[in-house]
Amino acid sequence: MLSRHLLGFLLATLGGSLALAGTPPEPWNAPYAEKTAALSLKGDIARGAAAFEICQGCHRAGALGRADGSYPRLAGQHANVLVKQMADVRSGRRSNLKMLPFADHQALSVQDIADIAAYLQSLPVPPTQGQGPGTDLARGRQLYERDCQVCHGKQGEGKADQFFPRISGQHYAYLLREGSLIRDGKRHNAHPDMVLAIGKYSDEDTAAVSDYISRLPVGGR
């Protein structure tokens, strides 16, 4: 017999999936109560460091992620981007079954979300991210400047006021995986402009632009 906790988890996950499949998509970054509440709170870096301890097993100390792409680097990311992603996972707007048990309402409060986001934004980003093979950087740069730079910035610094994430300093393997998911329509909270921009990329294009991004300088925020 399923435990009440596991049954509730499965129903919540299934319900979120059915809601996404059976209703028209919301406008990107549409407000909803929990995200709005978390964005309105002032995050405390010290409390965030303590709350992040449950996340370090996957995202590693210093939130540096894993070069194999299994977990992203979160250090130095814009706080409001982090709040949106955590809230989207909790609400089912972004499907991430590995993260959900650590981010759901039994694990984190809304204040915890704001605190963790403030802590992660404060962390330094060393130039140690996993990079791609470097075999088609000219093509990667061409695609980035044509399709990505307008939102993510010339140096991949993102735009906090528009919730566009920082992507400089991110691991190549993670960029490649998420880029492929977005291209294939499998990441439900992706910006529609990005889906449109990369929707016709070949696997080689996706790899080339991910490789180029993985080599962008990480200095400065």
Distance (Å, whole) CA 207 – CA 201: 10
**Are 32 and 117 part of one and the same domain?**
yes
Looking at the fold, whether 46 and 116 belong to one and the same domain comes out as yes
Does residue 152 share a domain with residue 179?
Answer: yes
Q: Are residues 101 and 178 in the same domain?
A: no
In a domain, 19, yes or no: no
What tens-digit pLDDT sequence spans the chain (221 residues)? Answer: 444 444 444 444 444 444 444 556 689 999 999 999 999 999 999 999 999 999 999 999 999 999 999 999 999 999 999 999 999 999 999 999 999 999 999 999 999 999 999 999 999 999 999 999 999 999 999 999 999 999 999 999 999 999 999 999 999 999 999 999 999 999 999 999 999 999 999 999 999 999 999 999 997 44
Whole-number Cα distances in Å, 75 to 56, 121, 196: 12, 6, 28
Single out the residue in 122, 155, 173 at which a domain terminates: 122
Total number of domains constituting the chain: 2
Residues 70 and 147 in one domain: no
Please give the residue range of the domain that contains residue 87.
27-122
The H-or-E segment that residue 115 falls in is helix 110-122
The domain boundary residue, chosen from 122, 148, 180: 122
- Per the structure block, which two tokens stand in for 189? 């909270």
Please indicate, yes or no, whether residues 118 and 161 belong to a single structural domain of this protein.
no
The CATH number of whichever domain residue 174 belongs to comes to 1.10.760.10
